[in-house]
Copies of this chain bind each other. A is one copy, B any other.
Amino acid sequence: MRMNEGVEWALHSCVNMTWLDPEEAVTAKRLAAFYELPAAYLNKQLQSLVKAGILTSISGPRGGFRLARRPDQITLLDIVTAIEGREDAFRCESILRKGPGGNPEVDYRAHCEISMTMRQAELAWRRELAGKTVADMAATVARKYPQAPDGTRARFASLRG
Contact = CB atoms under 8 A, between A and B. Distances in A.
Interface string A84-97: 10010111110110
Contacts of A122: 125
A105 interface: no
Contacts of A128: 120-121, 124
A87 to B, nearest CB: 8
Contact of A8 (B4, B36, B90, B127): B90
Interface of A: 1-5, 7-9, 11-12, 15, 34-37, 76, 84, 87, 89-93, 95-96, 98-101, 113-114, 117-118, 120-122, 124-125, 127-129, 132, 137, 140-141, 144-145, 147-148, 151-152, 154-155
